[in-house]
Amino acid sequence: MGIGNRRLAELIRELVSDDARLRERGSDRVEDWMNSYSPKEARVIAETLALMASFEESRECLEAQLHALSELDTADRIGGADLTPLRDIPDTRIHVEHRDYVEDLAPYLEKGAQ
């Protein structure tokens, strides 16, 4: 069933916003409908989060993005999403509050993982 195109589009708009506060809020909102996403919606959300996290400059947004991805993983909602853009996060951007999330998501980042 899923959350529907309108809600998905609204969420994606927040996740890709130029405004760091909106990106953080969107990332936090990912959990709101966690059990309602269709597999396709969950994949699109996970891939969008991974892409945005790959060049995120805001420490708080990056934490929210990684947390949302970790929650999607915990809820077994990532499915076949491609999270490899997370490999592009420079080590200098990974702070102590991000390490657990990165470790949780490591299996998706190994060569050949998808």
Q: What's the rounded Cα separation, in Å, for the pair 102 and 109?
A: 9
Locus of tokens 């909106």: 22
Q: What distance in Å separates the CA atoms of residue 55 and residue 41, rounded to the nearest whole number?
A: 22
Judged by phi (left if over 0) then psi (alpha if -120 to 50, else beta), residue 2 lies in: left
What residues does each domain of the chain span? 5-108
At residue 3, φ and ψ (nearest 5 deg) are -95, -10
Position 110 scores a pLDDT of 76
pTM of the model: 0.93
Q: Please state, in angstroms and rounded to a whole number, the distance separating the CA atoms of residues 89 and 14.
A: 20
Give tens-digit pLDDT for 9-35.
999 999 999 999 999 999 999 999 999
CB neighbour class for 70 (10 Å; exposed up to 12, middle 13-18, buried from 19) = middle
* Whole-number pLDDT of residue 111: 53
Task: Compute the CA torsion angle 14, 20, 25, 28 (nearest 10 deg).
Answer: 100
Residues of the chain with pLDDT below 50 are 112
C-alpha 77/C-alpha 69 separation (Å) is 9
